[in-house]
Amino acid sequence: LAAAPAGARILEKIDSLLRGNLAAEIGALSDAHPVVLAPALPVAGRTVVDGVVHLSGVALHHTDAWRMERRAAPPSVAAALAPVRTTVLGLDGVRGNTAAALAAALERAPVVICDAETDADLDAVAAAALAHPDVALAGSGGFAAAVGRTAPVSGNGCSDTRIRSRPPSVLVVVGSAADIAARQVERLLADGARDIRLPVAGETLAPGVTVLRPAAGVGADPRAVVAELARAVTALDPGPDGADLVLTGGETARRVLDELGIDDLEPLGQIGHGAVRSRTPDGRHVVTRPGSFGGVDSLRDIVAALQPPTHQDRKAP
């Protein structure tokens, strides 16, 4: 924050399930700016009603979304932010005179937690918040998208979607414990992908698609498992002229990229919601995606995008 240019608009991207160092980060943000916080991610069924995050209509603290965390899920966004002082802008305010309701809420507390059930709700919050030059924004990727739809566009943007020719292999690293991630892997294996489980011993990558994941029923510390996954990638990895990478789960993606010494990604586009395709400086393509995102065919769609059909693969009409 101290390094941000004067007058820059600040947007803090948070986890829509409120994981991570949320209180510390929003607390630091609110020390410098009033904060408008919108954690909802409607496209993934994550809404906020009365200041409580819901997954498909069920309050977060009544779900198993935090089962890999070291503490229980918070009963509300305000509880997740304690001791930061907050207030809630309810759905009535969001869907009424949003500008007036938000202005009043900003008078009550330094952090305004905004309810939202739809992208239209997030658009309304974004428009009202952007009318305040001194306000910092915080929220999910859904709120970031709403800000993008609402904020004035400057510069030429990046529309570069150059695609490499078919790589000889794609390595899919699955560190997420989400049930949907396991179902997505099943679809890849049904398509003929190779399955490698930890620990890796003497394995090498072959042309085609390889899935790397923890051993079945692993009960070790999740962070230790992710660290082992990252080390296994370096053992398998043939370098930028070989495998493109699909990294599911934020902790997994960060650990693998750190282990490979990759600290620069140029976003190229999106393959389904939340699956961002990027390019490294040496030309490798990397797809990062939260482990709990996407339908059962999500990984299949990502792999298909990384391995477009060659001329020989295309059938004549």
Ranges of each domain in the chain:
11-150, 169-306
Percentage of residues in the chain with pLDDT exceeding 90?
61
Instruction: Quick: pLDDT tens for 42-62.
Output: 998 999 999 999 999 999 999
Instruction: Quick: pLDDT tens for 286-308.
Output: 999 987 777 889 999 999 998 86
Residue whose entry in the numeric block shows the structure tokens 């992710």: 226
What is the per-residue pLDDT for 158?
Answer: 47
Domain 169-306 sits in CATH at: 3.40.980.20
Reported confidence tier of residue 218, pLDDT bands at 50, 70, 90: low
Instruction: Quick: pLDDT tens for 158-170.
Output: 444 445 554 568 9
Please state the pTM of the whole predicted model.
0.68
Distance CA 104, CA 86 (A): 13
Q: Which of 110-114, 209-213, 249-253, 294-298 holds the top average pLDDT?
A: 110-114
Reported confidence tier of residue 317, pLDDT bands at 50, 70, 90: very low
Q: What is the mean pLDDT of the chain?
A: 87
Q: Which of 133-137, 160-164, 266-270 holds the top average pLDDT?
A: 133-137
What is the per-residue pLDDT for 220?
Answer: 64
Mean local confidence (pLDDT), 142-169 = 67
Distance CA 131, CA 78 (A): 24
Order of strands across the sheet with 11-13?
11-13, 136-139, 35-38, 111-114, 86-89
| Superfamily for the 11-150 domain | Putative sugar-binding, N-terminal domain (3.40.50.10840)
